[in-house]
Amino acid sequence: MELNYTNAGVNIEKGNNASKIAYLNAKKTFASRKGLLGAPFEQDDSFSGALDFGDFLVVQNDDGIGTKMEIAERTNKFDTIGEDLVCMVADDAICVGAEVISITNTVDTPKVDAQIIEIMTKGLSKACQKQKIVIPGGEIAELGDALNKMVWNATAVGVVKKNKFITGKNLKVGQKIIGLSGRVLRSNGISLARKICEVHFGKDWHNKPWRDGKTWGEILLTPSKIFHRLIIDNILGDFETALNFNISGIIHITGGGIFGNIPRIFPKNKGFGAKFHDLHEPHQAIKDLQQLGNIEEQECYKTWHCGSALMIICEENEATKICEILNLADPETASKIVGEITETGKIELLSKFSGNWIST
């Protein structure tokens, strides 16, 4: 059997279609606040929704850690998944330039275990404190036999002044794309990783050794790198401070990978494309998964971030300086110019798996 994200249980195309349907119904509510405080600022395909509050916008978005929770339950390790939860919502909000001020969260579980909840929320609190985000509330729902695994989701609320709101409208051919290095996986593409491991190692795959004294469960549970505060403090400035650099786009490489997320920042009918000549190397665990599952490179790059987990689009004359600032503030990001905006209408990249060019 060919292994891909679809037969691992996740159909990106159907998910995208469902999201479009949901958004069309959501847009029907927009007229109800026309002329009122909090009127929607309509922007299709954005990473976050925005509401108009005069000189500034309130940004809101939702996400969860998906089946990374299943690995946490398998390994009985819950102390780092709060970082993943913050990452998924805060790094979506930063894509429109918003500084996240609060996160609420919902835990749905078959049976409440107070000890596990304490570990989870302690990790969430630590991650939020580092990002200067408050947790004003949440919900724990015990659902009994209506659920067989725990589910953890969050909603983030952020603010951004209108003149700092990032829409992609300033995108131009020739602008540079900066990549920031991620870790192993974010909270997407986990189902494919789990499926590969289960096929090759059996039901007890999470206890099988990977490398460096770690099991497959431990390496796949590596917490996501959060970029939100790093970008606020060094590139965009917070709510009250001036913009440090003119940024045309920020892209969070999550579900859909590079091929699915880069076009989200492109203005409609402009024919923009992107060419990536120097992406970050995928983590060794991802290279191992690709080989174990014989996964096509294109499938890898539309399922996982494969190394470059966040991207910033800017003018060529500012790109090197931005990389220097980010690397000084946080060397782990290994920030570098990974590509540029083109007029081809295609996403092209030099694969770090084989060294071959692949494209949409």
Tens digits of per-residue pLDDT, 89-109? Answer: 999 999 999 999 999 999 999
pLDDT tens-digit readout, 46-84? 667 899 999 899 999 999 999 999 999 999 999 999 999
- Mark which of 143, 164, 185 sits at the end of a domain: 164
pLDDT at 8 exceeding the cut of 70: no
* pLDDT value of residue 44: 66
Supply 358's token pair: 């692949």
pLDDT (mean) for 285-290: 98
Domain shared by 146 and 207, yes or no: no
Domain shared by 199 and 259, yes or no: yes
Please provide the average confidence, as pLDDT, over all residues in the chain: 94
pLDDT (mean) for 13-31: 82
Max Cα distance, the chain (Å): 60
- Mark which of 134, 164, 194 sits at the end of a domain: 164
- Give the CATH number, domain containing residue 233: 3.90.650.10
pLDDT at 12 exceeding the cut of 70: no
pLDDT (mean) for 111-123: 98
Q: What is the pTM of this model?
A: 0.93
In a domain, 7, yes or no: no
> What's the number of domains the chain is made of?
2
pLDDT at 11 exceeding the cut of 80: no
In a domain, 3, yes or no: no
* pLDDT value of residue 356: 96
Domain shared by 232 and 137, yes or no: no
In a domain, 4, yes or no: no
CB 234 within 8 A of CB 325: yes
Which range has the worst mean pLDDT, 19-33, 53-67, 105-119? 19-33
Domain shared by 155 and 271, yes or no: no
* pLDDT value of residue 268: 85
- Give the CATH number, domain containing residue 155: 3.30.1330.10
DSSP 8-state symbol, 21 = H
Residues facing residue 40 across a β-bridge: 51
Domain shared by 253 and 119, yes or no: no
Indicate the burial class of 110 (C-beta count within 10 angstroms; 0-12, 13-18, 19 or more). Answer: middle
Supply 208's token pair: 């099988």
Domain shared by 270 and 242, yes or no: yes
**Contact residues for 326 (Cβ-Cβ < 8 A; gap 6+):** 178, 180, 230, 234, 235, 333, 335
pLDDT at 9 exceeding the cut of 70: no
pLDDT-derived band of residue 16, with 50, 70 and 90 as boundaries? confident
- Mark which of 164, 187, 206 sits at the end of a domain: 164
**HEC assignment per residue over 97-150:** CCEEEEEEEEEEECCCCHHHHHHHHHHHHHHHHHHCCECCCEEEEECHHHCCCC
Checking 16-20 for CB contacts under 8 A at 24+ apart, the result is 16/256, 16/260
pLDDT tens-digit readout, 140-194? 999 999 999 999 999 999 999 999 999 999 999 999 999 999 999 999 999 999 9
pLDDT (mean) for 290-316: 97
Domain shared by 52 and 77, yes or no: yes
In a domain, 143, yes or no: yes
In a domain, 322, yes or no: yes
Domain shared by 158 and 303, yes or no: no
Checking 353-358 for CB contacts under 8 A at 24+ apart, the result is 353/282, 353/287, 353/290, 353/297, 353/300, 353/306, 354/297, 356/297, 358/297, 358/298, 358/301
pLDDT (mean) for 263-292: 95
pLDDT at 19 exceeding the cut of 70: yes
pLDDT at 317 exceeding the cut of 80: yes
- What are the backbone angles phi and psi of residue 276, rounded to the nearest 5°? -110, 115
CB 79 within 8 A of CB 123: yes
The DSSP secondary structure of 158-177, one letter per residue, reads EEEEGGG---STT--TT-EE
Residues facing residue 139 across a β-bridge: 106
- What are the backbone angles phi and psi of residue 28, rounded to the nearest 5°? -65, -20
Range of the domain at 49: 12-164
Comparing 85 with 22, which gets the higher pLDDT? 85
**HEC assignment per residue over 190-219:** HHHHHHHHHHHHCCCHHHCECCCCCEHHHH
Domain shared by 46 and 157, yes or no: yes
* pLDDT value of residue 219: 98
In a domain, 5, yes or no: no
In a domain, 2, yes or no: no
Domain shared by 191 and 338, yes or no: yes
Residues facing residue 105 across a β-bridge: 138, 154
Domain shared by 182 and 138, yes or no: no
pLDDT tens-digit readout, 215-235? 999 999 999 999 999 999 999
Domain shared by 159 and 181, yes or no: no
pLDDT (mean) for 284-290: 98
